[in-house]
C-alpha cells in the first residue's frame, strides 16, 4: 500500500501511547480474570437516569437529524451562562463551540492557534493524549518539566524559557490536573498568564475537572485581566456529569476564534448529535446537585486512600486537591512506575497507570483512578502497599 502520512504515523513518535497496562488489564478481564482496574478516568456509575430519559425523549421527538454545527443555540446559551456565572467574565453563545468531548476540543484548539511547525507548550505531567493531540495539528509538542517537590506546579523560569523557544505559539495547562490532582493557585495562574501575555502566546486551559475540587478553589485563567482575548477554555461533561460515552464538551474562546473553529468543525465532526445536546442541556439545567452527586464519591475515596497510605512509609501519596485520581510516589521501591505497574498487575491483579505514561516529571510514580467502590479501593491500596514493601525489602 502507499505510505501513510508521517503526521499520523508519528503521532506517538514511534513510541508507545502509554496505555499498555490498561490494554493488558482489559485483555485479562476479557479472558475471564478478575482484575481491579484503577486505570482510566471512567466512572463506576452510569449516566443519571433522568439525563438518559431526556436523551431518549429528544431522540424520539425527532432530534436525530443533523444538528447545528456550532451547537444548538439553547445549549450554547446555557454553557455561556454557566461560564459567566462561574468566572464573572461576560460570555455569550458567540464564545461557545459545542464539541464531541474535550478531546476533540483539545485537537481543534491547537488547530485553531498553531501553524504547521509552530511549538505548542504543555506542562509535564500531562494527560496522556496531549503530545499526540498537538502533533495531530502538525505542531511541535514541547513539555515543560515540573518537580514532585514543587507539587508539580511549573516554575516561572521553566515556563519563560519554553516561551522563548522559536515559534512558541501556545501553552496548554490543566487545573485541576490529571494525573497529579494539583489545583493551581491564583499566583501560579497569574504567572502563567503573564508569560503568555509577554510572549504573545495563546493559553489553552483544560478545565474538564472544574467540578471536582477538594481543596482550594478553581480559578479559570480566562478571568484574569486581559486573558479572555488570548484564552481558549476546554470544557466537558464527561467528568462533571458522568457522560463520558456521550462525547460532549465545548470550547470557550473569542468570537473570531469560534467562527474559525466552526469552519473546522464543518470539515471534521459536523457537530454533535442533537439528542446528546438536548441531554446535556437538561443536565446543565439541573444545577449543582447532579455534579455534586458525581464528585462526592471521589472526595470520599481520596480521603479514604490518604488514610490507608498514612499507615506505612514506602508509598507516599501526593494529596490531590482535585480530580478523580491519586498520584503515588513509589520511588522508595527502586522501581520505575512502569515496572511497578506491570509487576503489580501480574502479581496482584491490580491495574494502575505508570507515572511515565504522563511524562518524565511523573517517573517513579503511579496514578490510581479512584473509580471502584470504597471497599475494593481500600483492599487494592492495602495490597499495593504490601507489594511495595516486599519489593523495597528485597532491594
Q: Residue for cell digits 484574569?
A: 224
Cell 519554553 maps to which residue? 162
Rounded to a whole number of angstroms, the minimum distance from the CB of residue 369 to ligand PMP is 10
Nearest to 205 by CA among 117, 121, 323, 320: 121
Name the minimum Å distance from CB 207 to ligand PMP: 9
Identity of the residue, 210 or 329, whose beta carbon is nearer to ligand PMP in the bound complex: 210
Minimum CB separation from ligand PMP for residue 395, in Å? 33
- For the CB of residue 179, give the shortest distance to ligand PMP in the complex, in Å: 8
Query: Shortest Cβ distance from residue 8 to ligand PMP (Å)?
Result: 19
Would you call the peptide bond into 378 cis, given omega within 30 degrees of 0 as the criterion? no
CA angle 327, 333, 336 (to 5 degrees): 65
* φ/ψ of residue 139, rounded to 5: -110, 165
User: What's the chain's Rg over C-alpha atoms?
Assistant: 21
**Residue number with CB closer to ligand PMP (201 or 208):** 208
CA terminus-to-terminus distance, the chain: 50
Report the candidate in 275, 233, 264 with the shortest Cα–Cα distance to residue 65: 275
Residue 234 CB, nearest approach to ligand PMP (Å) = 6
Contact between residue 364 and residue 357 where contact means Cβ atoms under 8 Å apart: no
Strand partners of residue 317: 328
Which CB sits closer to ligand PMP, 170 or 236? 236
Residues near ligand PMP (CB under 6 A) are: 41, 101-103, 127, 174, 178, 206, 208, 236, 238, 244, 249
Over the range 155-192, which residues count as b (16 or more CB within 10 Å of their CB) and which as e? Answer: eeebbbebbeeeebbbbbbbbbbbbbbbbbbeebbbbb
Q: Smallest distance from the beta carbon of 385 to ligand PMP, in angstroms?
A: 26
Output 204 or 328, the one with its CB closest to ligand PMP: 204
For residues 206 and 387, which CB has a smaller minimum distance to ligand PMP in the complex? 206
CA–CA separation, 395 vs 393, rounded Å?
5
Nearer to ligand PMP among residue 295 and residue 388 (C-beta): 295
Instruction: Outline where 10-101 has alpha helix (H).
Output: 20-30, 49-60, 73-87
Q: Tell me whether residue 97 or residue 314 sits nearer to ligand PMP (CB atom).
A: 97
Amino acid at each position: 500500500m502507499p505510505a501513510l502520512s508521517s503526521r499520523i504515523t508519528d503521532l506517538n513518535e514511534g513510541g508507545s501511547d502509554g496505555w499498555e497496562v490498561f490494554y493488558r488489564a482489559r485483555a485479562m478481564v476479557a479472558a475471564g480474570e478478575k482484575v481491579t482496574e484503577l486505570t482510566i478516568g471512567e466512572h463506576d456509575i452510569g449516566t443519571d437516569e433522568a439525563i438518559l430519559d431526556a436523551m431518549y425523549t429528544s431522540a424520539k421527538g425527532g432530534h436525530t437529524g443533523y444538528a447545528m454545527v456550532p451547537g444548538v443555540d439553547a445549549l450554547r446559551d446555557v454553557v455561556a451562562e454557566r461560564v459567566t456565572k462561574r468566572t464573572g467574565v461576560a460570555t455569550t453563545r458567540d464564545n461557545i463551540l459545542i464539541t464531541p468531548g474535550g478531546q476533540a476540543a483539545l485537537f481543534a484548539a491547537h488547530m485553531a492557534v498553531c501553524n504547521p511547525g509552530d511549538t505548542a507548550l504543555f506542562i509535564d505531567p500531562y494527560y496522556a493524549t496531549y503530545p499526540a493531540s498537538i502533533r495531530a495539528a502538525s505542531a511541535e509538542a514541547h513539555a515543560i518539566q515540573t518537580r514532585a517537590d514543587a507539587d508539580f506546579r511549573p516554575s516561572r523560569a521553566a515556563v519563560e524559557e519554553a516561551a522563548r523557544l522559536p515559534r512558541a505559539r501556545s501553552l496548554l495547562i490543566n487545573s485541576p490536573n490529571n494525573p497529579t490532582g494539583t489545583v493551581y493557585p491564583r499566583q501560579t495562574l497569574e504567572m502563567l498568564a503573564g508569560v503568555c501575555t509577554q510572549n504573545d502566546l495563546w493559553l489553552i486551559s483544560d478545565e474538564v475537572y472544574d467540578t471536582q475540587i477538594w481543596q482550594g478553589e478553581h480559578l479559570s485563567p480566562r478571568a484574569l485581566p486581559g486573558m479572555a482575548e488570548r484564552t481558549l477554555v476546554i470544557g466537558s461533561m464527561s467528568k462533571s456529569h458522568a457522560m463520558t460515552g456521550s462525547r460532549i464538551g465545548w470550547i470557550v474562546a473569542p468570537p473570531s476564534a469560534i467562527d474559525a473553529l466552526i469552519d473546522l468543525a464543518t470539515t471534521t465532526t459536523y457537530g454533535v448529535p442533537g439528542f446528546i445536546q438536548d441531554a446535556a442541556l437538561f443536565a446543565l439545567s439541573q444545577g449543582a446537585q447532579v455534579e455534586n452527586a458525581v464528585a462526592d464519591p471521589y472526595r470520599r475515596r481520596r480521603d479514604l486512600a490518604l488514610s490507608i497510605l498514612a499507615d506505612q512509609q514506602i508509598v507516599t501519596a501526593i494529596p490531590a486537591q482535585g480530580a478523580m485520581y491519586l498520584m503515588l510516589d513509589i520511588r522508595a521501591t527502586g522501581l520505575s512506575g512502569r515496572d511497578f505497574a506491570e509487576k503489580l498487575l501480574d502479581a496482584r491483579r491490580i491495574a494502575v497507570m505508570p507515572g511515565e505514561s504522563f511524562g518524565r516529571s511523573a517517573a517513579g510514580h503511579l496514578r490510581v483512578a479512584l473509580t471502584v467502590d470504597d471497599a475494593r479501593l481500600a483492599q487494592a491500596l492495602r495490597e499495593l502497599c504490601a507489594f511495595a514493601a516486599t519489593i523495597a525489602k528485597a532491594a
